Structures are given as structure tokens and as C-alpha cells.
Amino acid sequence: EADIYQTPRYLVIGTGKKITLECSQTMGHDKMYWYQQDPGMELHLIHYSYGVNSTEKGDLSSESTVSRIRTEHFPLTLESARPSHTSQYLCASSEWGGLDTEAFFGQGTRLTVV
């Protein structure tokens, strides 16, 4: 079973609030990812990290920011939430560069901005 955890699982928050979605993994993986997924739609990569102090933007433009101060922790922050940020956010981790590299996902955070 994958050891990657996201909190909170569900969040309803008002417009303009600052929020941080938490993601932690205990597998020692260097690479971590944040994806955004609307219901019935594809996953969009919004941020990723190769390791401590590394953060990169993904394919989908996002108003969120991330940090990677510790290997196991990759939080995502929205400085000012808007209704357009309503979505499911999925965190994942992997080793990288190997033929057997596998992605492990958390259970997701369902964010609703009202």
C-alpha cells in the first residue's frame, strides 16, 4: 500500500482566503508532483519537484505555489482562493529515471471555493 498522505480530504472555503494543501510521503522518493483534476476529466500537472529545494511549474498554468524544504513534504499553497480553483488536487511521488519507476498517489483533496 502506498504511503502518501494528503490533508485535508475535503475543504470548503470562502473566496480570498489563503489555503495550504498538505502532502507527505514516507517512501523517501525524490520526485513529487501535484495534479489538478476536474470531475471526469484528465489529470493536469501543475507543479513538480526533483528533490529538496527544487520546484518546477507543470503544463497547466496555476496560481498556486509549492515548496520542498524536506524530502517527505510537498505542500501546495493558494494565496487567494477563487471559485475557479474549485477542483480535486492529487499529490503523487515516485523515484525517477528507472524502468520500474512507479507513481504513487494520495487520496486527493477536494477543494470547493464559494
Partner 1 sequence: KQEVTQIPAALSVPEGENLVLNCSFTDSAIYNLQWFRQDPGKGLTSLLLIQSSQREQTSGRLNASLDKSSGRSTLYIAASQPGDSATYLCAAYTGNQFYFGTGTSLTVIP
Examine residue 105 and tell whether it contacts partner 1 (CB under 8 A): yes
State the nearest-atom distance from the C-beta of 30 to partner 1, in Å: 12
Q: Residues touching partner 1: how many (CB under 8 A)? A: 27
Numbers of helices and strands, H then E, in the chain: 0, 11
Distance separating alpha carbons of residues 64 and 12, to the nearest angstrom? 17
**Site track 42-71 with partner 1 (rule: CB under 8 A), x = hit:** xx-x--x-----------------------
Which class for 88: exposed (0-12), middle (13-18), buried (19 or more C-beta within 10 A)? middle
CA distances from 84 to 14, 29, 60, 96, 113 (A): 12, 31, 14, 32, 8
Q: Which stretch binds partner 1 (CB under 8 A): 14-22, 62-70, 72-80, 98-106?
A: 98-106
Minimum Å gap between C-beta 16 and partner 1 is 26
Q: Least distance from C-beta 102 to partner 1, angstroms?
A: 5
For residues 49 and 78, what is the distance between their CA atoms, to the nearest angstrom? 17
What minimum distance in Å lies between the beta carbon of 79 and partner 1? Answer: 25
> Where do contacts with partner 1 occur on this chain (CB under 8 A)?
2, 6, 33, 40-43, 45, 48, 88, 90, 92, 94, 96-108, 110
